[in-house]
Amino acid sequence: MVEVNEKIAIEHGLKSDEYKKICDLLKRTPNITELGVFSAMWNEHCSYKSSRRHLKKLHTKGDQVIQGPGENAGVVDIEDDDAIVFKIESHNHPSFIEPYQGAATGVGGIMRDVFTMGARPIANLNSIHFGSPDHEKTRNLLRGVVKGIGGYGNCIGVPTIAGQTCFDESYNGNILVNAMTLGLVNKNKIFYSKAAGINKPVIYVGSKTGRDGIHGASMASAIFDDKIEEKKPTVQVGDPFTEKLLLEACLELMAGKSIISIQDMGAAGLTSSSIEMASKGDLGIEIDLTKVPCREENMTPYEIMLSESQERMLIVLEEGKEKEAKKIFDKWNLDFAVIGKTTDSKNIELFFKNEKVAEIPIDFLAENAPMYDRKWIKSELPKENSFSKDQFKSLKLGECLNKILQDPNISDKEWIWSQYDHTVMGDTIQRPGGDAGVVRVHGTNKAVAAAVDSSATYCNAHPLTGGKQVVCESWRNMISVGAKPIAITNCLNFGNPEKERNMGEFVECVEGISEASKYLNYPVVSGNVSFYNETKDKGIKPTPSIGGIGLLANYKKMITMELKNNGNYLFVIGKTEGHLDQSVFARNILSKFEGPPPEVNLFNEKQNGLIILKLINNNLIETCHDVSLGGILTALSKMSIKGNKGINIFPINGLVNKFQYFFGEDQGRYIIEIKPKNLENVENMLKNDSIHFDKLGLVEGDKITLENDLKLSIDDIKEDYKKWLKEYMVN
């Protein structure tokens, strides 16, 4: 037996004062198993000790919210008896260490969070961020992560309908892999993790426990150094085929009335699942670790409790239902073992080979876990750049557009999403590559839209504004496909919270997210915080990922972004001021990297979005696409490429020069396509609601043209747009 001391505690990721607190709480020195349990439950990944007090500021209420933060996933009502269960979660550190398994088990873990609540997964999404394309590791990390996401999701038979891929040098030492899943459930048959009742059997189901993933949760809250390769054993190994069996077995058991509570064994494995269930139910729990199915010999209590082997669940059953439940798991060829019971002790008690090996009050691990009020620095809004006429004198619109379309963060990502099965289950009606993915609710006229967005550039420039912007971007993506925005989930990726600047970025991003979600009635119902994304003292840019969902009452009203018919008009909804600071144009063309992000006007965001929905529901527009990175001309190019239609752009009027107009990244804007017969009606509705709009051009020909300033064939812009990633991954 290892003798526990302060040095051992620090090696487990605990601080000196935290170890002292543990000894004070217990009134003794913990043994190694108890120390392992404390280190798992008190690490940042499980305890949220730096973020809890700030997460309380998030807007989490709404008419359609059934379950907000605090459960395995959030749940929202989508009418009739249907509900959507959804969540996004990080698997950043494991994916950097071992990209295939890290990404694969990230997908597996988020799906378990969803079906644990009784929902059948219907769609996967992801948000993945990599270092600079010229960094030596980027290409292989990208290849491994994409294969891992596809390998797991494709095998289990859930479509990947949308996602996001970004490149930035701040991720050179810490990539981000955020996985999101949506599931469909009858709102009267939702399962929760709160244990209830005394002497209820505690059941272990799924795969056997091995030594993979031990200290995975602690590693997720660690800063990397040169010894990163040594952490590979902390990365879990996934088996999608077993997960499929586990999914079907759990849903079959859920069809009956034997489950009291159920919890996936995710971060910290058996430790967190058992303690969370007991804590929520204000109960104790007793576990005989000798009865835990193990695939490796001579596993110790410490190893069994901290293993993060995949495809495992913990269930509290009604008494007398064990045989019935075992039959189901036997049928699916999965392990089933009664390993303990609920108690009234309010302690976790662990036994091994007839000896008590640990006893800890549950409150010490949950309610009494550390919570820090870390110091933080408020970010100042950067000074605006002044752009002189001379800076634009030698520039040509076409050349600028060509360069922007080849930017790694703009260019086509088909190489990635073509490796994912996005049509399995037969309900995907909008595939990756648009504003949002859309899946039908099987057997109904309804459909659910979903997208994932982030904006590290804006958040890095001014976290408060960036936090608002990323929520608004999600809102616009729902609107653009004709869906009423319902709710969001967030994955908050930041550096070391012990640094005041990093903590300030987190606090202000959360405030921005909360402000926007409240104003737009777009509540946060689930999420995840990932801190310590840092290597050798260099952290990532603040990167909150927002996963949004929306509802189409009638999927036949769905809108896509490709141009439809020659002779139709194009309008820009929302005012263009020509904001270039922090834009793709400023970085790529002018080599300007300073300045504030574009202002977010929540009133305009809401009004512009609502009028677009109104136009869609009245069948008055053919196409819609929001204006985001790269501005108007980039958005037009994508619409043109997808529809294989040209555009005759009208001359611009006003004070904004053409480069600011076409490449500025002002917020709250959409491009819509209108049939001539609907033109008057649309104009009247926009004017009646005091909505700013510009007549942008006509759909016609096979080129994008603007008087003498621009004349590019669709084939040329398509080549620029599609070639970068394809060529990059060949090399």
User: Which of the residues 12, 45, 54, 625 is marked catalytic?
Assistant: 45
Q: Where are the beta strands (DSSP E) in 589-717?
A: 623-626, 647-649, 670-674, 693-699, 703-706, 710-713
- Report phi then psi at 274, rounded to 5: -70, -40
User: Which of the residues 12, 54, 91, 579 is marked catalytic?
Assistant: 91
CA-closest candidate to residue 299, choices 333, 274, 270, 264: 270
408's CB contacts (< 8 A; 6+ apart) are 133, 167, 724, 725, 728
- Cα four-point dihedral sign 617, 620, 621, 627: negative
The first and second tokens of residue 110, run together, are 């988020």
Distance, CA of 650 to CA of 627 (rounded, Å): 18
3-state secondary structure of 9: helix
DSSP labels, 198-231: SSPEEEEEESPB-STTTTHHHHTTS-B-TTGGGG
The torsion region of residue 634 among left (phi > 0), alpha (psi -120 to 50) and beta comes to alpha
- Cα four-point dihedral sign 281, 282, 288, 289: positive
Q: Where are the beta strands (DSSP E) in 96-194?
A: 120-130, 160-167, 176-186
Q: Are 401 and 632 in contact (CB under 8 A)?
A: no
Return the residue matching tokens 């292989």.
Answer: 140
Told to judge if 91 belongs to the known catalytic residues of this protein, a careful annotator would answer yes
Return the residue matching tokens 């069809």.
Answer: 255
Amino acid identity, position 226: D
The secondary structure element, H or E, covering residue 493 is strand 484-493
The first and second tokens of residue 317, run together, are 């059953």
Amino acid identity, position 467: G
The torsion region of residue 199 among left (phi > 0), alpha (psi -120 to 50) and beta comes to left
Q: Are 173 and 536 in contact (CB under 8 A)?
A: yes
Told to judge if 692 belongs to the known catalytic residues of this protein, a careful annotator would answer no
- Catalytic residue numbers read 45, 91
